[in-house]
Amino acid sequence: MLKKDFLWGASLSAHQTEGAYQEDGKSLSVQDTRPRSRNEIADFTVASDHYHHYREDIKLMAKMGVKAMRISIPWTRIIPTGIGAVNTQAIEHYRDVFNVMHEYHIEPMVTTYHFDLPQELQAQGGWTNRQTVNAYEQYVRVLFAEFGEQVKYWLTINEPNIMLLADKKILGFIYTHEERYKAFYNLMIAEKLAFKACHELCAQTKIGPVPNISYVYPATSDPRDVRAAEYFNAVRNWAYLDFSVRGIINPIFKNYLKKTGIELAILPEDQDLVTHNFPDFLGLNYYTSVTVEYPRVDQDRASGVSDQQSEDIYEKGFYKGLTNVNLAKNDFNWTIDPLGLQTTLEVVNDRYLLPIYITENGLGAYDELTDDHQVHDDYRIAYLQQHLQSVQQAVDAGVDVAGYLPWSALDLVSVHEGMKKRYGFIYVDRTETDLKNLARYPKDSYFWYQQVIHNNGVD
């Protein structure tokens, strides 16, 4: 049974929905400048035009019955130069967004940063440069001071693990091994500074990290495969949460780094910050599980280390991802593993014992709008239903899951696949190349979720 005050919601990120990419003083982020095909550039500049449709979108969310809505604020709107002057027009915009949410009794859950670093900071080394940490601290202090009264739930940095491991796909460039773990350290310090600033500036507010956590399975019981899974669990999952919640560098991760030529330690001047500032809850994004084996043959690494999809994972001498043949796949070849969510929740609970909000979970698919403006997305309903059953089983097993905010509130531009891959409860009428009229149409899953919220769970 879910708690009476279970936080039902839905999620979005700014750069995938807002558009208005150069309006009201916004500067360019790495999402605006990363290399894309021509069609895709047209995509991101307008996206779902949520910047101009937010009133309508929030109203539709309210009608669906959500109690919370996760959005992100673009750093490039608040502080266009990355560090320095604050853009008051942007402050007014988000003040109104939160006012509208409150009008409809929706709690905002706000991600401070979702893959969209100001280009100006990227040009100076981005997360490999410690200056970016100082800039982030200034930025989040502005957010907490301006919106601390309006926002009860803050999320720090969206999926730092996927951002670093799938760098090519998400950011458009590849980190060297050294750079990746320099950036890891700076991101983790930045997050600690956000915990500290939030607790100092807004006492009524709660803050948590938001990594993508998927339990990693060994392909077989061959002890080498089991060790491969242990390594990848540490590199992909625990390194991040151990830093945030326990204030340590995960030992298996540390050993992995050492074997690859990197000595990572918390700097003496950061020690106090790291061991005294912790999250109030965990935000957790989950799409599918991951399966790895010990790599028996050496191969070239094409890009990064891993992606959400297992086939891309490779690190010589440690692990190699492979498709789990026991699982079904979605339209885009991602495996579907609802039981994996239950396992992930139970393991995360076992390790960290904090309330968990599922801040992303959903199915990307090719949706079709009928002539009478309906979308019969029974496949999405099936996916969400099965994952919610897993959430409820985890809760029955003692895990404190406090909310569910699936991806996504409305159709948006997918990170990997543009506009053709849809996740929303609400259809946005446009295609990859044709902006059409951007009208909003609730899908079948919208009405299904309305009922789920009303019943406080699924059967």
Least separation in angstroms between CB 193 and ligand BGP: 22
For tokens 């994952």, the residue is 387
Asked if 171 touches ligand BGP (CB under 6 A), the answer is no
Asked if 43 touches ligand BGP (CB under 6 A), the answer is no
Touching ligand BGP, residues 14-33 (CB under 6 A): 16
Least separation in angstroms between CB 159 and ligand BGP: 5
Cα separation, 425 vs 411, whole angstroms? 7
Q: What is the largest CA-CA distance in the chain?
A: 64
Least separation in angstroms between CB 115 and ligand BGP: 7
Binding mask 273-292 for ligand BGP (x = CB under 6 A): ------------x-------
- For the question of residue 178 being annotated catalytic, the response is no
Residue type, 342: Q
Query: Pick from 126, 364, 406, 424: which binds ligand BGP (CB under 6 A)?
Result: 364
Asked if 162 touches ligand BGP (CB under 6 A), the answer is yes
Least separation in angstroms between CB 358 and ligand BGP: 13
Cα separation, 29 vs 121, whole angstroms? 9
Contacts of 208 (CB under 8 A, 6+ apart): 153, 154, 155, 156, 279, 280, 281, 282, 283, 354, 357
- Residue 407's DSSP bridge partners are 11
Least separation in angstroms between CB 310 and ligand BGP: 15
Touching ligand BGP, residues 220-249 (CB under 6 A): none
Contacts of 251 (CB under 8 A, 6+ apart): none
Whether 330 contacts 301, CB under 8 Å: no
Whether 10 contacts 411, CB under 8 Å: no
For residue 268, give both structure tokens: 């003496």
Stretch that binds ligand BGP, among 122-130, 156-164, 383-391, 446-454 (CB under 6 A): 156-164
For residue 104, give both structure tokens: 């409809």
407 DSSP assignment: B
Stretch that binds ligand BGP, among 23-31, 46-54, 101-109, 409-417 (CB under 6 A): 409-417
- The smaller minimum CB distance to ligand BGP, of residues 219 and 384, is found at 384
Catalytic position from the list 107, 137, 293, 360: 360
Q: What residues make contact with ligand BGP under the rule CB under 6 A?
A: 13, 16, 158-159, 162, 212, 285, 360, 364, 407, 414-417, 421
| Catalytic positions | 360
